Structure 1
């Protein structure tokens, strides 16, 4: 390597590092824009033939915000309002009713002594008040932190919209430029893009579909049984559904115990049967068919992708994390097929 080549390579490396530092604060929005553009591009191509590239891209960008971003903001407000209302109600009549239900359960059903029940009740109240105070402090801290990051989030959302529009308009040119500067043969690039496209559709589409289906079914079951804040718990179940090997039983399972404690054994049995016969079956088989089989990604890897994605990229890492790991697997798979060492025999 001569001096000129070395200098030019160093210049490219330095500019690349500077470029990454500039993009890093909004990396999650850039990746999310690329992912959304990938999902919408087939529809954009069909629509662009009728109304034009820019009008189609603008329309799909607007629809994405109306269908996805705005509901997410509304749900965030609902979660905050529900949490505050829940903590407020626990300080009032609901706390007394809950303690009375536990007292009757211990005295009548378990036959405990009144002195033991009184001691247990005092201990529970003391622990609960401490937990409630800590929860209130955490909620206020997080709420203030959310307000502090409003400007950053707003800027990121604007960047997402801007990039989504131009990814749709100039996506083909960007892909052609990538193919030109990538030092791989055309056949290898075709195979790489095909494998990446397959795993992206399998992971993103299937995870999102399963999560929404389980959240709707779970929330509907809680609503039919008259459990308050069913919409809030439906959102929680959507989030938990993205996590493989964890799932929405973390919501409906404790709800069964709650219904027993408050004196609704019939509702508890119905929810238990519904959870085991409907929710568990949907989680097990639909996820296995659409996610694990389709993507070829082990559930443990998906779990690491989700948790690592949240840690690295925030809320959007729920979907970006598994996709990035799936892309890594696709690249390794194609490399092994095209440049791997042949096996002996």
Structure 2
């Protein structure tokens, strides 16, 4: 009854139970833990440089890195969020006063369309202006109700957000300071061959670093360029649309076009030819070129994944995990490909004479 095999099985069962229990405890703060790990991986090179300049002062180097992270990443995001809320409130007020009327815009587009296209839309039930306006009004009402509900939810969850933010910063400090030792512990603890463990952990860190740097750089560039184009063309709420373009640009190839393309179509349909042509050319050549050049260089090159895998994993990850999915999706895809590569290579070695 007390054989070594039984003892090992009981110990493995206990190990699985306590591991699942620990992950269950951390699950309410999944986002905070994930972003702490991601930021630690992203800022570890900076921490190592500061540590070389501060020999024997690991705490001070970690604190300095944490401060730089606050200044570079978190404070600018907070300022953008505040400006976005103000801009969204202003646009909402203009919609209520009728200064911005999407129904009128839609009616203008339909009036500028050729007769054959209008007839085609009538066949599909899309040419009925009153019906479309009614649907748009219902959709706007539902959207407004959803936004109001989310605003109340955000207000109620402010304490939870502050707790998660404090936990993220606290964990980030210790991950920066003790990350190397923790990585060695994980490598020794995993029941895998050392080369496989080393390869998978390096793949994990490389994909996270490349995904965050690449996607954030592409999103910021496309959002800034799109917002600048809207501001030059006199589109109201340029900052709001810029942030939306930056967020949607996390979807490769099609993201930012979901914002600027309808505006270009409206310009062309209402007779503002040079504005529509300029925005179309700028969107296709400049904004599209940013996605086609920067994303493969910053994301696909380091992750060593095809563009279609990056696209599918990003969209699937965001569908399952929200904003966090643009990191989780490519990481899971990269580990999937790396694990199967290791499995195939081990089979080739077994079959070799």
Residues 127-174 of structure 1 show CA distances to partners (whole Å, capped at 9, x for unaligned) of 333233222111111111222222222111111101110001111111
- Confirm or deny that 1:258 pairs with 2:266: yes
**Of 82, 88, 93, which aligns to 2:87?**
82
Equivalent in the alignment of 2:123: none
Match in the other structure for 1:70: 75
1:26 aligns with 2:34: no
Tell me if structure 1 keeps the 8 A contact 2:108–2:270: no
- Matches of 2:344 and 2:276 in 1, distance apart? 52
Following superposition, the deviation at residue 258 of structure 1 comes to: 2.5
Confirm whether residue 49 of structure 1 aligns to residue 77 of structure 2.
Answer: no
Deviation string, structure 1 residues 241-270 (Cα, Å, up to 9, x no partner): 111242211111111022235552221111
| 1:148/1:329 CA distance change after superposition, 3 Å | farther
Deviation (angstroms), 1:47: 0.2
TM, length-normalised to structure 1: 0.85
1:159–1:102 distance in 2 versus 1, CA, 3 Å: same
Partner of 1:244: 252
Which aligned pairs between 1:178-217 and structure 2 lie closer than 5 A? Answer: 178-217=186-225
> Would the aligned equivalents of 1:252 and 1:275 in 2 still touch at CA under 8 Å?
yes
Name the CA distance, whole Å, in 1 between partners of 2:112 and 2:185.
75
Q: Is the 8 A contact 1:203 1:291 kept in 2?
A: yes
Moved more, 334-343 or 79-88: 334-343
Structure 2 Cα separation of the partners of residues 336 and 109 of structure 1: 58
Q: TM-score, normalised by structure 2?
A: 0.83
Task: Note the residue ranges of structure 2 that are not aligned, 5 or more in a row.
Answer: 119-126
Picking from 6, 15, 25, the partner of 1:3 is 6
Q: Distance in 1 between matches of 2:19 and 2:323?
A: 27
Task: Describe how 1:109-258 pairs up with structure 2 within 5 A.
Answer: 122-258=130-266
Does 2:66 align with 1:58? Answer: no
CA distance in 1, matches of 2:108, 2:242: 30
Q: Pick from 273, 280, 289: which aligns with 1:281?
A: 289
Aligned equivalents of 2:106 and 2:244: distance in 1?
26
Please state how far the C-alpha of 1:108 moved relative to its aligned partner: 11
Q: Hey, which bits of structure 1, 4+ residues long, moved more than 6 A?
A: 107-110
CA drift of 1:69 comes to: 2.4
Q: C-alpha distance in 2, partners of 1:155/1:13?
A: 28
Gap regions ≥5 residues in structure 1: 113-118
Is the Cα–Cα contact under 8 Å of residues 253 and 292 in structure 2 kept in the other structure?
A: no
| Mean CA deviation greater in 236-245 or 291-300 | 291-300
Counterpart in the other structure of 1:12: 15
Q: Distance in 1 between matches of 2:266 and 2:61?
A: 50
Counterpart contact for 1:44–1:56, Cα < 8 Å: yes
CA RMSD of aligned residues (A): 3.1
Q: Who is 1:309 aligned against?
A: 317
Q: Which moved more, 1:208-217 or 1:26-35?
A: 208-217
SS in 2 for 1:227: coil
